[in-house]
Structure 1
Amino acid sequence: MSALSQEGNPSPPVTTYFDGGAALYDRSRPTYPDKLVRRIVEAAPGRDVLDVGCGSGIEARQFQAAGCTVLGVDPDGPMADHARSTGVPVEVGKFETWEPAGRMFDAVVAGTAWHWVDPIAGATQAARALRPGGLLAPFHHASLTPHELADAAGMALPGWTTRSAPAYRRSAPGSPFDAAGRRRSAMDLYQPMFDTIADGIRRTGCFDEPEQWRFDWERTYSRDEWLTLLPTQGSLAKLPPDDLARVLDEVGAVIDRMGGSFSLPYATVAVTAVRRNGG
């Protein structure tokens, strides 16, 4: 890709989704499994990558390290500025209305960002930007939910449920506990989103049948690392300061009872599809 931006186009409006700051987001959010990055690179016909919702540039830098040329697109101006400061070229705008301007890519990826994109319009736009045989590959982290984490740590569920679940429920209606406090697994939570992504891809008529790739791994968090991560999550990022502090105090108390740290298993899932010739 020689031209990474188009001169003369009107500047798109700047949106800010994460008020906690791009630098905080960048240092607290986990990276993606190297096996996932390698598999996408190997499955794509070349190494020109468009990163949708690139945010602070976490996965974009991973693809750059794997030998790819990466262009990011993101509606959040401060996030784009941070990504640029780390060496990732970014154009600011919503992906559904972003203009490829004749540029073609070998892979369109999105790291924990496709849920912000209309599933049909986004897949249609990806088809415009992909070469025939190119790969669409949005992927998301699916971490264990609080009850699964408590089970893995051998911690009594009532302690976790009565402390952490209300905090999550109060701040995020889509939390790992439903309104009745019933426990839900990570894949219970995320699979409907993966199904929606796959259905959006199918409905374009431009791709082969979508596949779902899963990569299991884990990361150990200290109490401070976890409490730094939580305010960057979409449902918590917009809480008033007092409410956020209360949530963090409650969750921090549970982690203290677990010894001050824990190992959090993740499943990172990609929904992938190959761009057909024509269509």
Structure 2
Amino acid sequence: MSNPEATSFGAAVDVYDAARPEYPREALEWVVPRSAREVVDLGAGTGKFTRLIVESGRTTVAVDPDPVMLERLHTLLPTVDARPGTFEQIPLPDASVDAVVAAQSWHWADAEAGLTEVARVLRPGGTFGLVWNIRDDSVDWVAALGRTIGQSNAEARFEEVARVEPPFGELERAEFRWSTTVTRDDLVRLAASRSSYITADETERARVVAAIDELLATHPDTAGRSEFVLPYVTHCFRSRVSDPPLDYAHALSPARGWWRGALAIVVFVAAYLAVSAVLGAVGFAIEFARGELTLEQLESGLIPFTPVIMLVNNLSLAACIPLALVLQRLFFGARVGSLSSVVGRIRWRWMLRLALIIVPVWALYVGISIVVEPAGEVRIDAGVIIMLAIVVLTTPLQSAGEEYGARGLILRAAESWFRNPTVAFVVGLVISSAVFSLAHLAADWWLIAYYFVFGASAALAARLTGGLEAPVLVHATNNVLLFIPAVLYGQLEQGIDRSEGTGGPFMLFPMIMCVLAALISWRWGHRNGVVTTAPSPVPPRLRRAPAPRTA
């Protein structure tokens, strides 16, 4: 702020405070979001806009380079934290406030340096607001007044300087029209409060006053009157600091309240069990009626996977998709699509490209498994064809449901408890993988370890690729390619045995395959330019105050 006019107002502080118009409350309500609790009034002057901020109940810091103006502000608003400073040097620590407003002042700033400094003191997602009170010169006598007293720096430049650049996002704009009643003396004081008048000599000042008097005496709208309605347009601009990019798994971490993640997980598990119980009861009833299921089989825990039981199982797990979407929206206010990926949708093209590698690799893996351990004779009949159709059509939904639940909602909900992304991921991975493993009800420790590694690898893939496409693809490919031969060889007719002793060291091979799939997904995603981070989808109203940035 090297321009001497910018710091000239202290020489006319009494006139400035008396003459400058107030601001409509609507301007504050539009510029400063309701969620903002700590606000800086930058270039505060005598506190015209500061007063509105204080009256709204927010913690307020007023900053101005002129000590005389600050002294008057402190006299008028003794409870306000008033500090000397400039647009380019704000006397506040990093990431310390929710909003910064420059009312009738930003035209004096070095915009580039000022924006950098404002971004420094704002918390992620914080708001920067610009406000100018400009006389409405669409009214003829007001336009004539402007020509008489000359155009101020604010009037001349506010459109030009109302600009932002990264890390700020889109600049929004609003206008509020209002008016005030003034007298001849008020108009003279208004002219006298302008920097051009303050820095002018006595001859020029006298000329301005005489011109005002002549205008008021001769213009049809003002002649013969002692009071005049002076219309204003308050031009407001606002922009938010872009959030720091977060990885997929850590996306919900800005949410306020640890209970959100905990309750989301509990409600999800309870809701899934309820849906599964209802659909399972229907499926069992049908199979009991058809004679395809007996009480002895039910008591043994080895339930045969008939077409009906397979369909019910897959649909129960597929229901996890809407459950996870709804619960993330309910507890975190996040956009539904954000559960699919950091870009807010399923990236089908990326999934197809990954399938070109994963599907052949998994087909080879399953083929080798069949060759190493032959499963018997292939049988094809009407029941087998129906079962194959159910496997092919609904197993991908079943797999997606498990991923949306475990690697989507549970992983992200658990990570929401921690700010540190590494700590969050370790905890989230352990919790989501443990739930996933326990849900398979295996009694063999090798199987339990396999399911845990499967879940951990899927969580890693979700984090490294920025979404659930890779985990869903790997999961669906694995299940479909394993179920197809199991159906053809009749292995599902006795149910899936997860009892103690059914696993063994041979389970290390599928564990390695899971880790390999995660690494392939990461490398292929990196090569294809897949986006892996994005701003958090949690809305500002549900966010906690971010931790201050360190130097």
Name the TM-score class by shorter chain. 0.7 to 0.9
Q: Distance in 2 between matches of 1:232 and 1:44?
A: 33
Structure 1 or 2: larger strand share?
A: 1
Task: Indicate conservation of the 8 Å contact 1:44/1:106, yes or no.
Answer: no
From the superposition, tell whether residues 98 and 276 of structure 1 become closer, same or farther in structure 2 (CA, over 3 Å): same
From the superposition, tell whether residues 175 and 80 of structure 1 become closer, same or farther in structure 2 (CA, over 3 Å): closer
- Aligned twin of 1:276: 242
- 1:33 corresponds to which letter in structure 2? P
Point out the structure with max Rg over C-alpha.
Answer: 2
Q: CA deviation digits over 1:201-249, x for unaligned, max 9?
A: 12xx111111111111111211111111111012222111232122112
Give the one of 174, 177, 185 matched to 1:213. Answer: 174
Task: Indicate conservation of the 8 Å contact 1:109/1:138, yes or no.
Answer: yes
Structure-to-structure mapping, 1:61-76, within 5 angstroms: 61-76=51-66
Task: Indicate conservation of the 8 Å contact 1:54/1:72, yes or no.
Answer: yes
Structure-to-structure mapping, 1:1-279, within 5 angstroms: 16-18=7-9, 20-41=11-32, 43-86=33-76, 87=78, 88-102=80-94, 104-145=96-137, 148-150=138-140, 160=144, 165=147, 167-168=148-149, 172=150, 174=151, 193-198=158-163, 201-202=164-165, 205-257=166-218, 258=222, 259-278=225-244
- For 2:9, what is the secondary structure of its paired residue? coil
Q: CA deviation digits over 1:70-125, x for unaligned, max 9?
A: 11111111001111112232111222023423461111001100001112211111
Structure 1 or 2: larger helix share?
A: 2
Task: Indicate conservation of the 8 Å contact 1:19/1:238, yes or no.
Answer: no
Q: Distance in 2 between matches of 1:18 and 1:100?
A: 24
Q: Distance in 1 between matches of 2:205 and 2:34?
A: 42
Q: Distance in 1 between matches of 2:95 and 2:83?
A: 13
Task: Indicate conservation of the 8 Å contact 2:31/2:236, yes or no.
Answer: no
Q: Distance in 1 between matches of 2:72 and 2:238?
A: 28
Offset of 1:20 from its aligned partner?
Answer: 4.5
- 2:39 corresponds to which letter in structure 1? V
From the superposition, tell whether residues 248 and 197 of structure 1 become closer, same or farther in structure 2 (CA, over 3 Å): same
Offset of 1:139 from its aligned partner?
Answer: 0.7
Which ranges in structure 1 are unaligned for 5 or more consecutive residues?
A: 1-14, 177-185
Task: Indicate conservation of the 8 Å contact 1:16/1:78, yes or no.
Answer: no
- For 1:91, what is the secondary structure of its paired residue? strand
- For 2:180, what is the secondary structure of its paired residue? strand
Q: Distance in 2 between matches of 1:208 and 1:240?
A: 44
- 1:220 corresponds to which letter in structure 2? T
> TM-score normalised to the size of structure 1?
0.75
- For 1:21, what is the secondary structure of its paired residue? helix
Offset of 1:34 from its aligned partner?
Answer: 0.8
- 2:240 corresponds to which letter in structure 1? V
Aligned-residue CA RMSD (Å)? 2.5
Range that drifts further, 260-269 or 20-29: 20-29
Q: Distance in 2 between matches of 1:23 and 1:250?
A: 23
Q: CA deviation digits over 1:164-205, x for unaligned, max 9?
A: 73x43xxx4x469xxxxxxxxx9xx55x6334322xx12xx1
* Number of residue-to-residue matches in the alignment: 233
Q: Distance in 2 between matches of 1:268 and 1:30?
A: 11
Q: Distance in 1 between matches of 2:72 and 2:113?
A: 27
Task: Indicate conservation of the 8 Å contact 1:255/1:261, yes or no.
Answer: no
Task: Indicate conservation of the 8 Å contact 1:142/1:266, yes or no.
Answer: yes
From the superposition, tell whether residues 33 and 16 of structure 1 become closer, same or farther in structure 2 (CA, over 3 Å): same
- For 1:61, what is the secondary structure of its paired residue? helix
Task: Indicate conservation of the 8 Å contact 1:75/1:94, yes or no.
Answer: yes
Range that drifts further, 248-257 or 230-239: 248-257
Q: Distance in 2 between matches of 1:265 and 1:102?
A: 40
- Aligned twin of 2:493: none
- 2:111 corresponds to which letter in structure 1? P
- 2:117 corresponds to which letter in structure 1? Q
Offset of 1:143 from its aligned partner?
Answer: 0.8
- Aligned twin of 2:394: none
From the superposition, tell whether residues 78 and 249 of structure 1 become closer, same or farther in structure 2 (CA, over 3 Å): same
- Aligned twin of 2:331: none
